[in-house]
Structure 1
Amino acid sequence: MHRRVAALAVPLTAVTLVVSSCASIPEEWRTPAFLRMNDDALDSRLPEVTGDVGEEPEVTFPDIEPPDEEISGVVSKGSGEDALVGADDLVIANVAQYQWTAPGEGEPVEGQSSYESGAPDLIRMDQMPEYITDTLISQPLGSRAVYVFPALSSEEIAQAEAMGQEAPEGASVLVIDMIDRFSQGAVVPGEQTNDGGGDLPTVTQDGRSQPEIEIPDADAPDELEVVPLIEGGGAEVEEGQQIIVQYTGVRWEADEDGNHEVFDSSWNQGGIPFDTTIGGGAVIQGWDEGIVGQNVGDRLMLIVPGDMAYGESEEEAMGAPAGTLVFVVDVLGAFDNAPPPEPEESEEDAEDDGADEEASEGDEGADEEAGESEEDSE
């Protein structure tokens, strides 16, 4: 698998963009106003955020100057007390960013809202800075957190501009709605109704453990085989979505000792769920074709022939496993990806468009003159 570094698709704030290379937020910003997750009181300087969690928030900015220190708090606590966010969770969240520009004034940052894009963010809690996770950990799902980050200093503005980034005006405000979570060791619910067998591998799995895959003494199939072991009742996985899975993979062909050792597995990473875009070439063809069209909640056995796996070139160059591969995949979740940004029109394209319009107008004028001339001759 190709593992990407998971982080917020929406930049947390301009602060993180500028000072990310400096390890952390300056110590003078970390004051008692930075509210911990279990505090009951909220800092009165936080913007008022209304609307249901899971829907685009309405943000009202206080009639004061934006604070010169970082503040945060949970402004709406979810009801899922039995599903508290953990420090190692993969959290599905909607994220929106705003700029607080003056007393009582602020505006959304264009293009920085997962509500606008229709695609939630995947937040790996163990990869996020503490000034974000401290407010989220141990909160129930359905909670809404708000962060305010001070305006950039002149030095930070210069750093941002040197990096080719546009320095924002005023304080940055971030709203995070936590809508789902996937913990270490997550598996799909239900009992296996099929374990394969016969001329196909046999799969056994005990609860939240890595599955055992027994390869039969038979030739591998020539075509992709998709065998549901647990049939989930969730939505159908669509091409281009972000999927979250647990998986294990072994080679059909035994090694020189006669074993079929696991070559790749999310369970070998502590059972941390893996996420990727499906159906677009981010993973092997056997996954793209075998998982698209299946359902969230499925446990699948994928038997992938070599030409739909890594192929000879990657096997030789990268040491990828050769030949037919067998995977057991738990499809934990599937979420829409944000559409790719539309390419900006260059000055040359704009000039060409203008020239085309002028030519078109000229042709129309010539047609009209021709029509008038014909009428005169009649």
Structure 2
Amino acid sequence: MHRRAAALAVPLTAIALAVSSCSSLPEDWRTPAFLSMNDDTLDSRLPQVTGDVGEEPEITFPDIEPPDEEISGVVSKGAGEDALVGADDLVIANVVQYQWTAPGEGEPVEGQSSYENGAPDLIRMDQMPEYITETLVSQPIGSRAVYVFPPLSEEEKTQAESMGQPAPEGASVLVIDMVDRFSKGAVVPGEQSSDGGGDLPTVTQDGHSQPRIEVPDADAPDELEVTPLIEGEGAEVEAGQQVIVQYTGVRWEADENGEHDVFDSSWNQGGIPFDTTIGAGAVIEGWDEGIVGQKVGSRVMLVVPGDLAYGNTEEEAMGAPAGPLVFVVDVLGAYDNPPPPEQEEPAEDAGGDEVAEDPEETEE
């Protein structure tokens, strides 16, 4: 289904910055965030985080030097006990990063707040290191966790700078608010009000299994056909958003055995929900045109002509399936992407002319 074979990056900038140049935390940096007593008690060295989950947190740094070990804990537990985070879930979270610079002092890291940029992070739990996931797994959605990562050593600062990364002073602090989760095998709720049929493929599905697509013995339509199978009740998907879906794709044209085998499917990846930016050229045009405007919670069948897919000939497709394609897509979620970084305007002199960035390179 991808236009390109390269894997899509998970937008976890804040978490990547927190660990900076370290590939893993040393064992002696790790300590339990909770002390085993009659009641679970947070480590007193953790910053105090207040405010409602779903809003920018307020943080107070302890009047001590930042600890020299990694500590973490859940500072607010969500009410959704029926929606506990699993070790292989795709978690939607708001993430804010801070630098704890001295006793009682710290500041937010510029540009590292999903509350500020309006776009949550997508955290694939099975791709995160254990020191991130062990605090989040089995917690209900709506929970808030805080992490403290020790200040970098001089060696680590040198290593970070050699890699072109900033070497922040003090400890890095993350606040993670878990908004939603999507587990393996997730599908949209509700029963199909249509299974397609007629001159279009017929779609059946047994529970949470991969949909079965039966292609009729007929010519494929020349135009994109979008057939709702389950009508969702969520917000309409907008161009430029990141969508989370389950999908299955088959060729309209049968192979030499008369079969329409699945050529691409999230179900073939263990039912792990797939995420991508929609309506921006990251996927084939048939997806961009067919999914934008659908409501979250919908299941749709897309019959995509070759010119809106990978092409009509093997040469055009370059290894991808050529000709018309059929997809069944469950639209599980849609979230805004962060805005692109602002480009600095070139400076102008008093006469309104642009000033060269490097005066030494300007001709006399």
TM-score by length of 2: 0.92
Residues 182 and 356 of structure 1: CA distance in aligned 2, closer, same or farther (over 3 Å) = farther
Kindly tell me: are residues 201 and 99 of structure 1, through their superposed partners in 2, closer, same or farther at Cα, counting changes over 3 Å? same
**Equivalents in 1 of 2:61, 2:73: separation in Å?**
15
Decide whether the 8 Å contact of 2:18 with 2:174 is kept in 1: no
Whether the 8 Å contact between 2:49 and 2:75 is mirrored in structure 1 is: yes
Task: Kindly state the Cα deviation for residue 311 of structure 1 after the two structures are TM-superposed.
Answer: 1.5
Q: 1:194 to 1:75 in 2, by over 3 A?
A: same
Partner-residue secondary structure (3-state), 1:287: helix
Tell me the equivalent position of 1:16.
19
Deviation of the 1:344 alpha carbon: 3.5
Asked if 1:62 corresponds to 2:62, the answer is yes
1:232 Cα deviation (Å)?
Answer: 0.7
Structure 2: state its 5+ residue gaps.
355-364
Does 2:2 match 1:7? no
Whole-Å Cα distance in 1 between the matches of residues 212 and 80 of structure 2? 34
RMSD between aligned alpha carbons?
A: 1.9
Extract unaligned runs of 5+ from structure 1: 360-378
The structure number with the bigger radius of gyration is 1
Say whether residues 1:166 and 2:159 are aligned partners: no
Per-residue deviation, 1:163: 1.1
**Shift in CA distance, 298/18, structure 1 to aligned 2, threshold 3 Å:** same
Equivalent pair of 1:250/1:260 in contact (CA under 8 Å): yes
Q: Which amino acid aligns with 1:211?
A: P
SS of residue paired to 2:21: helix
Query: Deviations 1:316-362 (Å, cap 9, x if unpaired)?
Result: 563100100000000000000101101234xxx32xx1254489xxx
Shift in Å, 1:13: 5.4
Residues 1:343 and 1:41: Cα distance change in structure 2 (over 3 Å) = same
1:104 aligns with 104
User: 1:121 is aligned with what amino acid?
Assistant: D
Q: Which amino acid aligns with 1:16?
A: V
Partner of 1:354: 349
- Structure 2 counterpart SS, 1:311: coil
Q: What's the offset of the Cα at 1:5?
A: 4.0
Q: Contact between 1:201 and 1:215, CA under 8 Å: does it hold in 2?
A: yes
Partner of 2:141: 141
Shift of 1:34: 7.5
1:89 aligns with 2:89: yes
Partner of 1:124: 124
% of aligned pairs identical? 81
3-state SS of 2:279 partner: coil
Residue 103 of structure 2 aligns with an amino acid whose one-letter code is: P
Q: CA offsets, 1:112-136, max 9 Å, x none?
A: 0100100000000000111100000
AA at the equivalent of 1:287: W
CA drift of 1:15 comes to 4.9
Structure 1 equivalent of residue 228 of structure 2: 228
What amino acid maps onto 1:226 in structure 2?
V
Residue in 1 aligned with 2:305? Answer: 305
Aligned partner of 1:155 in structure 2 is: 155
Instruction: Indicate conservation of the 8 Å contact 1:10/1:113, yes or no.
Output: no
Q: For residues 314 and 140 of structure 2, what CA distance do their matches in structure 1 show? A: 44
Q: Deviations over 1:27-65 (max 9, x none)?
A: 2212345779xx821000000000000100000001111
Say whether the 8 Å CA contact 2:14–2:95 is kept in structure 1: no
Residue by residue over 1:280-322, the C-alpha shift from the partner in whole angstroms, topping out at 9 and shown as x without a partner, is 0000000000000110011000000000001257855631001
1:11 counterpart SS class:
helix
Aligned-partner Cα distance in 2 for 1:323–1:336: 32
Specify the code of the residue in structure 2 equivalent to 1:9. Answer: L
- Cα 1:13–1:256 change in 2 (3 A) is closer
Residues in 2 aligned to 1:186 and 1:337: alpha-carbon distance in whole angstroms: 22
Q: 1:235: how far off? A: 0.3
Q: Deviations over 1:63-117 (max 9, x none)?
A: 1111111100000000000000000100000000000001110000000010010
Q: Contact (CA 8 Å) 1:310, 1:320: kept in 2 or not?
A: yes
When residues 129 and 313 of structure 1 are mapped into structure 2, their CA distance, relative to the original with a 3 A threshold, is farther
Q: 1:267 is paired with a residue of what secondary structure? A: helix
Aligned length: 350
Counterpart of 2:139, as a letter, is Q
